[in-house]
Chain A
């Protein structure tokens, strides 16, 4: 049988999933935890603690700063040292709450037992209650973008959800945290999916997994064999299948129209496997989001592995635990090599969206020298959004904003397939980002005038 996949473009980067079979270890507690107030898309959270306050694991540090926002909880126990600016993964100095770690004392409300709770055993959980608990626990998308999860469960007027799709694709090279999570917590993820389906008032759920993870497909198929409402969908390996729009196209054969449309406009709510797990813990165990699975990897890293990390842990401590920085010139990425952000400092903490710390060394860390465009059209054929990257990049570099807006630059998902493929090593995405950001600013200004 031919496996499903998305229909336009796509590439096949080298997988390098070095850590796929390394069982998850619990990372050591940091000596000091850093909590950026902006770990999600939307308004930064507002601090509710002050310098000198004692906090426990699971204590609220900052409340949601608006509708599109999420609260932040402490992952450690100790004393609030200060609220100050510190460098985060974006490279900018942003306000953070810094906590000095003392012991490991948890809030009593958190259920720390391993007992598996099921939706059937908790009829008191109404859809509204589930959404509320997800909101209160500060759950955001764990795949990288970090959109507050509860908003996705409340479709805008005119849109109706028909199914929930769990994203177990993990198409980024190197990263294996979602795979380990599926292998180690399949039951919890399935309950998380049930909760999401109940919250969204739909009775169909899918889990999309690429066929390079046959073990995960087999395990989840086994566990859902008697559940007609949940379907495990094996997908042909292709990047960027983990992109929301690509995944919806691959799984239910529907294409989300150009922005501002979102997946729910075609009836789909997409959540990462990590998010499903966090939803389970938030709703069933009353555990806010302060821990996550993170891969620390790289070809030259001595002991790469997967870790259950308390958020706020500086990446340096994890890297040191894995054998420290490799010799030579390194590029440290929060995320994978296709969409990850290169860090300016390893003091940056693990946040809600940090699925991996990837270290590229020497020649892997450097870009190749750009040559003249030979108009081979390979960027056009790999673009998963059906755009013309060569044209967008050239027009953006000439600041022809009108032209790039006309050519749908705002549809770009910044997956980097064009630049990955370009035989002339041209910085296509750099220029397209410039154009996209500028055009989005122009559109916002235009809408504000109306």
Chain B
């Protein structure tokens, strides 16, 4: 007679896996990746490929030689970090800077804390912010879209965000007329001078497509992206009504890394709160901080910093915001 297998219940498992979620997010990033090839051509391809390859290499090397653990390079998380890091960089960034970014993202942002699931901060954002403060010039010169065959020699221009910042600095609302119209910001705008930005943020529509895919596949829930987008819309809308020097809420939403951050960076499983209520608080705070940094901070873009700041608050949110226990409703009614 064959042996019986014995274990505790449950004996059934769903089809979900870490890989399914990671590769699902990567798949959701494909539309934005294709659009970036279309607008930034070879530069975007070089930056993204370097970033992904470097992140995978560092993940493999560190797990194998430093941590001496089983390699986790194929679970998709390193590829995802690489892709998101690449999306957050300008398409004319030299390869060696991308490599440093990948090393910081994986080495410092993720592996020092013990690898997947243990990092308090979003690794891709750690990499990006490290580069931003270390190489401020390279990290803020944005090539104009449409130069498909140019890489580091591409012509650069101001992004919509620096146009907005300029309007606030000078107090001249007419500066905002240089902004592209909303439709071209939604679709991306290869011809215009101001259609510049990081690799992944240029087309909001492609990112929204990714959001729809992730919601459909139940990889993420609506709570974080919707609360960020709604907060930015309301807060910047109030500012815009009070003083037209502040850009319109639609322009705020469609410019810079807002969509990329709200949909793909803030929703990172590891660094976001565990309960729906906590996720809403987290999202609202990120939206609020983003608008504050954009309008009154030193940098034109506030998304990355807002997310990193709220990453630091995630353990606190988890400690105090508990899901509603079954039966709690009754308890309150009785009292």
| A interface, CB within 8 angstroms of B | 8, 11, 13-14, 91, 173, 245, 249, 254-258, 261, 266, 325, 328-333, 335, 337-346, 360, 364-368, 371-378, 380-381, 383-388, 390-391, 407-408, 411, 414-417, 419-425, 427, 429-430, 433
Contact = CB atoms under 8 A, between A and B. Distances in A.
Given A342-B6, A342-B7, A429-B9, 17 more contacts: A256-B327, A266-B330, A329-B2, A337-B10, A338-B9, A338-B10, A365-B11, A371-B18, A372-B72, A376-B21, A390-B274, A411-B327, A419-B10, A423-B16, A423-B18, A424-B18, A425-B13
Nearest to B220: A376
Given A266-B330, A330-B2, A386-B326, A339 B18 contact: no
Interface of B: 1-14, 16-18, 20-21, 72, 75, 77, 115-118, 221, 269-270, 272-276, 279, 322-331, 334
A190 B75 CA distance: 54
A372 B118 contact: yes
A425 B227 CA distance: 30
B17 A425 contact: yes
A176 to B, nearest CB: 16
Given A375-B269, A423-B20, A424-B18, A381 B6 contact: no
Contacts of B272: 375, 377
A435 to B, nearest CB: 14
B249 to A, nearest CB: 29
A256 B6 contact: no
Contacts of A330: 2, 4-5
11 contacts: A325-B2, A339-B10, A367-B7, A375-B117, A375-B270, A376-B269, A386-B324, A388-B322, A391-B274, A423-B16, A423-B21
Nearest to B319: A391
The 3 closest A-B pairs by CB, nearest first: A416-B10, A337-B12, A372-B117
A117 B277 CA distance: 54
A341 B269 contact: no
Given A342-B6, A366-B5, A423-B20, A360 B11 contact: yes
B117 A373 contact: yes
A344 B6 contact: yes
A7 B136 CA distance: 51
A433 B9 CA distance: 10
A386 B331 CA distance: 14
Contacts of A375: 117, 269-270, 272, 274
B117 A8 contact: no
Given A374-B270, A377-B274, A380-B323, A421 B4 contact: no
Contacts of A261: 327
A256 B333 CA distance: 12
A331 B276 contact: no
Contacts of A343: 4, 6
Given A173-B12, A375-B274, A390-B274, A8 B4 contact: no
Nearest to B75: A371
B116 A372 contact: yes
Contacts of B13: 367-368, 419-420, 425
Contacts of A433: 8
Which of A249, A380, A390 gathers the greatest number of chain B CB atoms within 10 Å? A380
A384 B326 contact: yes
A339 B9 contact: yes
A14 B21 CA distance: 20
Contact of A8 (B10, B77, B324): B324
Contacts of B275: 377, 380, 388
B323 A386 contact: yes
A381 B14 contact: no
Contact of B116 (A11, A245, A374): A374
Contacts of A329: 2-3, 5
A111 B3 CA distance: 43
A388 B317 CA distance: 14
A380 B274 contact: yes
A374 B269 contact: yes
A328 B75 CA distance: 30
Q: Could you say which of B72, B279, B327 has the most chain A C-beta atoms within 10 Å of its C-beta? A: B327
Nearest to B276: A381
Nearest to B221: A381
B269 A255 contact: no
Nearest to B15: A14
A32 to B, nearest CB: 19
